[in-house]
Amino acid sequence: MIAVLTNVWALLLGVVLIMLGNGMHFTLIGLRGGIEGFSAVALSVVASGYFLGFLSGARITPILIQRVGHVRVFAALGSFMSAALIAFTLLAEPWAWTILRILVGFCMSGIYVTAESWLNNAATNQTRGKLLAAYMIAQTLGIIGAQGLLTLGDAANAALFIGASILVSVSFAPILLSVTPVPAVEVAQPMSLRKLFVSSPLGTIGIFLLGGVYATQSGMGAVYGTELGMSASQVALFVAMLFAGALLFQYPVGWLSDRMDRRMLILGASAIGAVSCAVGWLMGGGLWAVMAAAFFAGGVTAPLYALFLAYTNDFLPTEDMPAASGGLVFTFGLGAIAGPMLTGWAMQVTGPAGFWGVLTVSFAGIVAYAAYRMTQRPPLPVEETDSYLGVLPTASPLAVEVAGVWAAEQAEAEAEAQAEAEAQAQGG
């Protein structure tokens, strides 16, 4: 593994720094918004703006790269994002923050596409899976680490926003000084929602609901903590818990995914999420109960994302996987736009508990639909399923496409090796 990382350490370091800055800004929005007196509804619109920009960037960035190249696009998006992070402190108005969040989401999506194309170019068929896994771990560690940095300053002034901007600016140095530009990346046109639903109803509906769950956790978690009366350090810990669980659950869920009916695993993981959120809902202001609920609810969210991708690909030929991946990312994005706004309305009506209420209902919806789909389609034999790869919701369509094709190739290789071993055993 060390040999594999030798050629991409600078890229991974840059990704960690980017995620430190971006992760700080996610939580800062909730903290500073509370100080400015923004309502939960206003902050929910601000939160949704990021995912609107992210969807737009995923479609437009490949076109920009084809026109002017990776380096220029990467540098330009980094500059815009760094400037936007500072601009949050200049005009504390919900409409201005929404525009800035759209810009940040657009820039982050483009940065992901560019960085992931470099990473994919540096990989071979033998190392691609390990590099993608390392990339996802770097992203998660950056987000968690960002919450620790928030305890070093006061959200009431500009220092933390400036710090986030500096981290993003500095992150481009190791990347731009070490990587070689590669040919323009091409992202497949997303599969239509109708065709995607016909291919995998559970994958389509499930990932839409999960988009709302993820965006609510990442975009409204700090808002919930602020409205509950947590201190800034407690809010940071709460947000960190939402992401820390993924590091623990990703591997065991992936291991089980390749050994059992994935629908049953989707149902079970979603049930854990629903129960955890219900506990958070019922326990109200119990600090450690809320932290535990965040750990388990957040912990199953990232593995569920990868599960839905893998499950959908199980029913598709390899040539359709890139288009299906794009369709799933788009569907996830639609849910991510809607989730925070629904949560903001619920929190405005019912108070902070509305945060857990929306999450509980969303997870329960996945449980119910997974149970229904298990009565409509027979299980796919485990040996016919594709390999699982822990892709995170923060990944761009490019990484999702690459991971899907890699998983299919791995499954085919394993099937061929097993068939060859059986043939040799029979011959012997």
Mean pLDDT value across the chain: 85
90: containing domain? 2-422
Please report the pLDDT score of residue 423 as a whole number. 67
Q: How many CA atoms lie within 13 A of 167 on its CB side?
A: 25
pLDDT bin (cut points 50, 70, 90) of residue 425 is: low
In a domain, 407, yes or no: yes
- The single-letter DSSP state of residue 385 is S
In a domain, 6, yes or no: yes
Q: Tell me the two tokens of residue 236.
A: 């940071």
Q: Which long-range contacts (CB under 8 A, 24 or more apart) does 206-209 make?
A: 206/266, 206/304, 206/308, 206/366, 206/369, 206/370, 207/305, 207/308, 207/309, 207/312, 207/328, 207/331, 207/332, 207/335, 208/331, 208/332, 208/334, 208/335, 209/335, 209/362, 209/363, 209/365, 209/366, 209/369
- The single-letter DSSP state of residue 352 is T
Instruction: For the chain, give the percent of residues with pLDDT over 90.
Output: 44
Gap between the Cα atoms of 315 and 324, Å rounded: 11
Gap between the Cα atoms of 218 and 394, Å rounded: 11
In a domain, 427, yes or no: no
Mean pLDDT across the stretch 196-218? 92
Q: What is the pLDDT of residues 15-55, one digit of tens each?
A: 889 999 999 999 999 999 999 999 999 999 999 999 999 98
Gap between the Cα atoms of 238 and 125, Å rounded: 38
Gap between the Cα atoms of 298 and 316, Å rounded: 29
Gap between the Cα atoms of 422 and 415, Å rounded: 11
Q: Yes or no: say if 169 and 82 are a contact pair by the CB < 8 Å rule.
A: yes
Q: What is the pLDDT of residues 352-398, one digit of tens each?
A: 999 999 999 999 999 999 999 998 888 777 666 666 666 778 777 76
In a domain, 428, yes or no: no
In a domain, 180, yes or no: yes
Please report the pLDDT score of residue 317 as a whole number. 75
Please report the pLDDT score of residue 419 as a whole number. 65
Name the amino acid, one letter, at 388: Y
pLDDT bin (cut points 50, 70, 90) of residue 81 is: very high
Mean pLDDT across the stretch 125-136? 74
In a domain, 162, yes or no: yes
Identify which has the larger pLDDT, 246 or 415.
Answer: 246
By mean pLDDT, which of 8-12, 155-159, 193-197, 308-312 is the weakest? 8-12
Please report the pLDDT score of residue 240 as a whole number. 93
Q: What is the pLDDT of residues 264-283, one digit of tens each?
A: 999 999 999 999 999 999 88
pTM for the whole structure: 0.90
Question: How many structural domains are present in the chain?
Answer: 1
By mean pLDDT, which of 285-289, 306-310, 400-404 is the weakest? 400-404
Give the distance, in angstroms, between the CA of residue 300 and the centroid of all CA atoms in the same chain: 12
Task: Provide the CATH number for the domain around residue 314.
Answer: 1.20.1250.20
Q: Is the predicted pLDDT of residue 183 greater than 60, yes or no? A: no
pLDDT bin (cut points 50, 70, 90) of residue 187 is: low
Listed ranges 74-78, 197-201, 341-345; the one with the highest mean pLDDT: 341-345
Identify which has the larger pLDDT, 244 or 389.
Answer: 244
In a domain, 97, yes or no: yes
Q: How many CA atoms lie within 13 A of 39 on its CB side?
A: 13
Spatial neighbors of 149 by CB under 8 A, at least 6 apart, are 20, 24, 160, 163
Gap between the Cα atoms of 196 and 423, Å rounded: 37
In a domain, 259, yes or no: yes
Q: Which residue has the tokens 């059986």?
A: 422
Please report the pLDDT score of residue 38 as a whole number. 93
What is the CB neighbour count within 10 angstroms for residue 62? 23
Please report the pLDDT score of residue 184 as a whole number. 55
pLDDT bin (cut points 50, 70, 90) of residue 60 is: confident
Please report the pLDDT score of residue 180 as a whole number. 61
